[in-house]
Amino acid sequence: MLEHDVLIIGAGLAGMRAAIAAKANGANTAIISKVHPVRSHSNAAQGGINAALTDRGDNWEDHAYDTIKGSDFLGDQDAIEVMCRAAGRSLIDMEHMGVTFNRDEEGHLGTRAFGGQRRARTFFVGDFTGQALLHVMFEQLIKSGIQSYEEWFVTSLVQEEGRVCGVVALEIRTGQLHAIRAKTVIFCTGGLGRVFEPSTNALIVTGDGMALAYHAGARLMDMEMVQYHPTTLAGSGVLISEAARGEGAYLLDKNGERFMKKYAPNMMELASRDVVSRSEQTEINAGNGVNGCVYLDCRHLGEKLIKEKLSQIREIGIDLAGADMVKEPIPIRPGMHYMMGGIKTDVNGLTNLPGVYAAGECACVSVHGGNRLGANSLLDTIVFGERSGSHAAAAAGELKFVDFSAAAAVQREEQRIQAMLNRPQNGDRVASVRLGMGESMNRNLAVFRQKTGMEETVQELQELKARFAKVPVENKGKVFNTDLVFALELGFMLDCAETIAVSALERKDSRGAQFRTDYPKRDDENWLKHIAVTKGEVGPEISHLPVTITKWTPEERKY
């Protein structure tokens, strides 16, 4: 049987960083990914990565404070300290590995301003930073000789003797199922963007890891905290990076007014994302937008800067909305972008399940609390990817493999999948169940929420789950059966959707990304706490966890 000390599920930035760290710590390490590693969603990151470099007059404590304020004081401050202290070294490590960050006129690493931060501390490569980081990380993965199972889809975990001791995965190219034994498993499976429709996330971002961990007994936390990004393109919902506003772009209403002066007179367009998205939606709802959008105006930045630093988003505007930002404002609106919540871990990536770790967007350490600052996510993946890889390797050194029957584990999965393939055609489609879910989430769990809307979605999710249990998989073949993969992903997404909706209903205040029109105030007395959800006998079970506060006392947030 295939076996490894440390098995990492997911080969985005978090996964590859974890793998390199685990291998460097002497573990027999493997990484598994449902797509080729450089097709992971990390590749799509545009704007940059944050770090406070002391030789640039910055310091980690300012970065930590901005992050905590951005989180609306829901982030765990011990974890934020760890991340912000490690940021400088992590960034320089990436540079030394070969990332060609933009530089300023004097030859120093260049920075751009990003939202919710008092200082420009976002390092970048044009507007394709994620791609630059991911490709360099992939080179390091190859160099280190780590075993990589590419286009293998993890369908379930194997649990014996009270431990997660391996996984079953579908080799997409052949349709063959394999069991892999592991002493420790690290989830680096990314976010769940596609639970909402539309979303800025790639179609593969379907919350698989969160759902798998949840089913195995892991605790999910802060699942109500879903980030709507202020600038997603009209129609397609594709991301227009915050880098545009970082470089100085304006947000305009239908009369050409910079409406942010009403909501964030100091930071204007660079207030934190939750604040900007809410302001835009307020204007749109008041009839001050155009076709459900407001405008992003970059014209005054000039053609030279746009071509040099924002070339990719300019092309996106031209190709997908027929608007050239050099010549005209482009229509944008808030759109689902990022999941602050996820599998609850400590600062070493360890979850409540022995030997199971998580890092990156699927994890909730929680450094983002109620609202993530732009460019803190790439940082999160690198810092906590590395920590979880090192810690899992050390833990694996103390553990023995659990002996389980690979044949039996594979057979169980084969039967489950065959039953899906055997379902009769009944007119329903995976795609329509998926769209029903995404639209319901986007209708009732978006920028503004309230009880009856969210209850409606909980109800609709039950109906969608019933349809999912019968939905046919049209392709019965073995080779690259993407129909089957989409169906399995939909199951994961429906579970994630449910945890989001019940967590949001539980939180009866407005904080960070969650704004409830029926509870419009932040209520620290009753709700300065995390909402956790675990899988119970009949459905999600909710509990509360304290927020770790080190030295920054919660205060009212103003930008």
Ligand X SMILES: Cc1cc2nc3c(=O)[nH]c(=O)nc-3n(C[C@H](O)[C@H](O)[C@H](O)COP(=O)(O)OP(=O)(O)OC[C@H]3O[C@@H](n4cnc5c(N)ncnc54)[C@H](O)[C@@H]3O)c2cc1C
Q: Which residue is nearest to ligand X (CB)?
A: 12
Comparing CB distances to ligand X, the nearer of 19 and 437 is: 19
Min. distance of Cβ 366 from ligand X in angstroms? 14
Does residue 472 have a cis peptide bond before it, meaning omega lies within 30 degrees of 0? no
Comparing CB distances to ligand X, the nearer of 377 and 481 is: 377
Comparing CB distances to ligand X, the nearer of 9 and 501 is: 9
Q: Catalytic: which of 17, 63, 178, 229?
A: 229
- Cα–Cα dist 172/150, whole Å: 9
Of 164, 146, 140, 273, the residue nearest 216 (C-alpha): 164
Task: For residue 157, give the 3-state DSSP assignment.
Answer: strand
> How many CB atoms lie under 10 A from the CB of residue 245?
27
Asked if 221 and 358 touch (Cβ cutoff 8 Å), the reply is no
- Cα–Cα dist 167/241, whole Å: 36
Comparing CB distances to ligand X, the nearer of 79 and 252 is: 79
- Cα–Cα dist 355/183, whole Å: 7
Min. distance of Cβ 523 from ligand X in angstroms? 29
Q: Which residues bind ligand X (CB under 6 A)?
A: 9-15, 32-35, 37, 40-42, 44-49, 129-130, 153-154, 188-191, 200-201, 205, 208-209, 239, 338, 360-362, 375-378, 381
Comparing CB distances to ligand X, the nearer of 315 and 541 is: 315
Those residues whose C-beta lies under 8 Å from the C-beta of residue 86, and which sit 6 or more positions away, are 383
Q: Is 368 a catalytic residue?
A: no
Min. distance of Cβ 11 from ligand X in angstroms? 4
- Cα–Cα dist 62/11, whole Å: 31
- Cα–Cα dist 555/254, whole Å: 34
| Strands 147-150, 29-33: pairing kind | parallel
The pair of three-digit structure tokens given for residue 451, joined into one six-digit string: 């009880």
Q: Is 245 a catalytic residue?
A: yes
Comparing CB distances to ligand X, the nearer of 378 and 396 is: 378
Min. distance of Cβ 479 from ligand X in angstroms? 18
Strands (E), 195-339: 220-221, 226-233, 250-252, 294-297, 330-339
> How many CB atoms lie under 10 A from the CB of residue 257?
15
Unique residue bearing structure tokens 């459900």: 292
Min. distance of Cβ 38 from ligand X in angstroms? 9
Min. distance of Cβ 363 from ligand X in angstroms? 8
Min. distance of Cβ 462 from ligand X in angstroms? 24
Comparing CB distances to ligand X, the nearer of 10 and 370 is: 10
Min. distance of Cβ 404 from ligand X in angstroms? 20
The pair of three-digit structure tokens given for residue 542, joined into one six-digit string: 């909710």
Expressed in percent and rounded to 5, the helix, strand and coil fractions of the chain are 40, 20, 40
The pair of three-digit structure tokens given for residue 22, joined into one six-digit string: 């685990």
Q: Catalytic: which of 178, 245, 391, 467?
A: 245
Those residues whose C-beta lies under 8 Å from the C-beta of residue 288, and which sit 6 or more positions away, are 253, 254, 255, 259, 294
Q: Give the gyration radius of the chain's Cα atoms.
A: 22
Asked if 183 and 67 touch (Cβ cutoff 8 Å), the reply is no
**Using alpha carbons only, what angle is made at residue 511 by residues 505 and 514, rounded to the nearest 5 degrees?**
45
Would you please indicate which residues are annotated as catalytic (active-site) residues?
A: 229, 245
